Structure 1
Amino acid sequence: MKKTIIGASIVALVTSTVAASAQELNVLTWEGYSDDSFIKAFVESSGCQVNATYVGSNDDFAPKLAAGGGVYDLITPSIDTTQLMIDAGFVEPLDTSKITEWNNIYPKFLEQDGIQEGGEYYGMPYTWGSIPFMYRNDKFETPPTSLAALFSDELKGRISLWDDKSTLYVAARLNGNMNIYDLSDDELANAQAKLIEQKPLVRKYWATAGELVDLYAGGEVWISNTWGGYQSALLADQGIEVTEFIPEEGAEGWMDSWMIVKGSPNQECAYKFLNMQLSEQGQCGVANVNGYSVANKAAAKSCMSEEQFTALHQDDPDYLDSLLLWQPLGERLEAYTNVWNAVKAE
């Protein structure tokens, strides 16, 4: 993103004339992160109303913050996007002394680049996990193990991929390029060609968790990538059996963090909210809704069964090392975005 655009974005944000009320929080976040199952109790106990706007991609954060016309108080970008939020001036440093459970966050997550700068933290680690692949059990006699299944002519019209630039990572890995966050122009061109070749096989690029669930439930899609643990659980609620798998070519990993938008007028409610989200209430709340792993080991240990604790790798955060943890694309962001848009426009 050009620095001139970032500068204009900051001006648009700061000069916005519409602000949330003193006891109201506007959060820009992912589906499930403000679910009534645990947010309702917070609202009742704190007196802070929570209004959620959902994103379908990390690429949504910057444009929505830059658009003005309103003030978001909190956002939850992933680790490949948090640095951009800091560089753009969209977020402010956290006062970690106001976050009770801060020292119970896995050290591994606090060490991550992208949530801290100049000795200050800008992001509070919240959830983490993988981007595995998923298939309907009743449609496969032999379970798929490779990304090649998503490029099979036999599955024409039954394939879906996330409407996100990370779909380029899928094609790159299938091409044998594992340096997915630093692809050369030629490697990006090869990934683009692979996806254009695949496009006639794709039923739809899914944009939200609910959209993918509906595609599976309607029998339109049999195999896709997925937000690990979340969409499979939603399908299980409908009696549809699916299996998640890590393909031979590997899978991406991610970590989402809460960040306070610069100039938020609702600091008191914001810190109450952060404390709730890092407590047992928020950590097991999101784990139960989304099926994601969480950042506070002590909270997870207190509120999860032994089976859930182990299944979510809460006893083994180094599991993250087996994944290709999302990284900021830096100056290559524009190139990746342009290539992905070119694939969709084909």
Structure 2
Amino acid sequence: MRINRRASTGVAAVVLALVAAGCGTEDSGGDDGDGGSAAEEQGGFTPPDLPMLDELGENEGTLSVLAWPGYAEDGSTDKSVDWVTPFEEDTGCEVSVKYFGTSDEAVSLMKTGEYDVVSASGDATLRLIAGGDVEPVNMDLIANYADVWPFLKDRLWNTVGDVNYGVPHGYGANLLMYNTEEVSPAPTDWSVVFDGASDHSGAVTAYDSPIYIADAALYLMNTQPDLGIENPYALDEDQLAAAVDVLKAQREHVGEYWSDYLKEIQAFTTGDSVVGTTWQVIVNLAQSEGVPVEAILPETGSTGWSDTWMIGSKTESRNCAYAWLNHIISPEANAAVAEWFGEAPANSKACDLASEGFCDSYHAGDEAYAEGIWYWTTPIEECLDGRTDVQCTTYQDWTTAWTEIKG
């Protein structure tokens, strides 16, 4: 198994000014039972009027893919890891791949109109939709969409006004990991890295990105309800200040911030870190190397990610693009990507093809588990929790605050 998780979620919030009047209420990981109704609550977000493909035609012969590293493997990294070549052979669409390192980079590249499809995280999808860089997707033309876990469909980061803009690909949670020999009793919530961080001073670790402010906001949402935080990505000035105070206090006890998964494994192996945020793949790899760690998704929830494959609005290879979206969420390809990348697959049938125990390890298809995840979403001026009486802070504000926190 190899993880190629991105090391940064940096974004430019100014681009989100394209969203005229907000992006509505972002909820946590689980479906509310009526995905369409939830999408309609994105008050004022009117995407550009772009056509949707009515029927498939002849494949054009080429496809330009813009992807996170590890999402479009053709055997050049590892001969045994290849889901691009079978697609080319089945469709006649010759694939070229460009990898990007951040959501901001992906948005900029999609604006050039040079790419047919993109794998976008939740901190990029609404920007791409608002900017007219991606087009609505006709799910009736994607046969494998029927097998996607229901709780990943029709979400606020990939659906606007009941119109889908892409297919869910994979998802995961940011977990709380701890050394079982050094942290006792076993933690049950995030207080161990915030108010209780002094108990393990110098050995606390945290994710190195401004988006980590949402983790502090989520903690405050559960511990200080008087602050009125209803969405960890929708913070007014006072709420952001409260989150910053929490993170400044935590900073005194952080041994190191991490973005490279190998460095976090090393830190837990040497004992330099004993508790902090992590990903499931890191837990698995650390345990396989004999490191005494466990990880939990606290009952109070966590942040996380959900990625979507989208089609560029300027593509001249629309049929190949639809063929790719159908292929990449097929049981075979989705299982291969999930294991190589280190995340839960979106296709419910992928688990039948994955290695034994893989989907259980990643809680794939576990809706109750997914309900505890607040997926990464870009903070914008129009409050994502639906408030209209205040302005919320933007990612630029969060970036400035993060610099201040780290000193």
With the shorter chain as reference, the TM-score category is 0.7 to 0.9
The answer as to whether partners of 1:133 and 1:247 remain within 8 angstroms in 2 is yes
Deviates most, 31-40 or 170-179: 31-40
Question: Partner of 2:403 in structure 1?
Answer: 344
Among 124, 130, 152, the residue aligned to 1:109: 152
Report deviation, 1:33: 2.6
SS at match of 2:247: helix
Structure 1 residues 309 and 202: CA distance shift in structure 2, 3 A: closer
Match runs of 1:27-66 below 5 Å: 27-29=66-68, 31-35=69-73, 36=75, 40-43=82-85, 46=88, 48-55=94-101, 58=103, 60-63=105-108, 65=110
Match runs of 1:306-345 below 5 Å: 307-327=357-377, 329-331=379-381, 332=383, 335-345=394-404
- Counterparts of 1:208 and 1:231, CA distance in 2: 10
- Counterparts of 1:60 and 1:157, CA distance in 2: 34
1:147 to 2:190 alignment: yes
* Number of residue pairs aligned between Structure 1 and Structure 2: 327
Question: Partner of 1:157 in structure 2?
Answer: 202
SS at match of 1:101: helix
Unaligned runs of 5+ residues in structure 2 are: 1-12, 20-60, 384-391
- Counterparts of 1:202 and 1:317, CA distance in 2: 33
Question: Partner of 2:212 in structure 1?
Answer: 167
Unaligned runs of 5+ residues in structure 1 are: 8-21
- Counterparts of 2:254 and 2:162, CA distance in 1: 46
SS at match of 2:205: strand
Among 120, 123, 133, the residue aligned to 1:77: 120
- Counterparts of 1:237 and 1:23, CA distance in 2: 41
The answer as to whether partners of 2:66 and 2:97 remain within 8 angstroms in 1 is yes
Report deviation, 1:318: 4.0
Deviates most, 190-199 or 236-245: 236-245
Report deviation, 1:312: 4.1
Q: TM-score, normalised by structure 1?
A: 0.78
- Counterparts of 1:326 and 1:205, CA distance in 2: 18
The answer as to whether partners of 2:63 and 2:321 remain within 8 angstroms in 1 is no
Report deviation, 1:89: 1.8
The answer as to whether partners of 1:126 and 1:295 remain within 8 angstroms in 2 is yes
Question: Partner of 2:244 in structure 1?
Answer: 192
Structure 1 residues 207 and 138: CA distance shift in structure 2, 3 A: same
SS at match of 2:394: helix
- Counterparts of 2:107 and 2:284, CA distance in 1: 30
Match runs of 1:81-96 below 5 Å: 81-96=124-139
1:283 to 2:326 alignment: no
Report deviation, 1:65: 4.3
Deviates most, 240-249 or 35-44: 35-44
Report deviation, 1:141: 4.4
Question: Partner of 2:286 in structure 1?
Answer: 235
- Counterparts of 1:60 and 1:285, CA distance in 2: 25
Report deviation, 1:200: 3.1
The answer as to whether partners of 1:253 and 1:325 remain within 8 angstroms in 2 is yes
Q: Deviations over 1:274-328 (max 9, x none)?
A: 223211222211332344222221333x324785444544453243223334555
Report deviation, 1:258: 0.9
- Counterparts of 1:60 and 1:159, CA distance in 2: 30
The answer as to whether partners of 2:344 and 2:364 remain within 8 angstroms in 1 is yes
The answer as to whether partners of 2:178 and 2:295 remain within 8 angstroms in 1 is yes
Report deviation, 1:342: 2.3
- Counterparts of 2:318 and 2:267, CA distance in 1: 40
- Counterparts of 1:78 and 1:45, CA distance in 2: 23
- Counterparts of 1:282 and 1:292, CA distance in 2: 13
CA RMSD of aligned residues (A): 3.4
AA aligned opposite 1:256: D
Report deviation, 1:338: 1.4
SS at match of 2:177: strand
The answer as to whether partners of 1:196 and 1:343 remain within 8 angstroms in 2 is no
Report deviation, 1:189: 0.3
1:255 to 2:306 alignment: yes
1:25 to 2:64 alignment: yes
Structure 1 residues 260 and 222: CA distance shift in structure 2, 3 A: farther
Structure 1 residues 341 and 62: CA distance shift in structure 2, 3 A: farther
Question: Partner of 2:275 in structure 1?
Answer: 223
1:133 to 2:133 alignment: no
AA aligned opposite 2:101: V
- Counterparts of 1:65 and 1:218, CA distance in 2: 41
Among 298, 309, 334, the residue aligned to 2:349: 298
Report deviation, 1:121: 2.0
AA aligned opposite 1:283: N
- Counterparts of 2:299 and 2:327, CA distance in 1: 38
Between Structure 1 and Structure 2, the one with more helix by share is 1
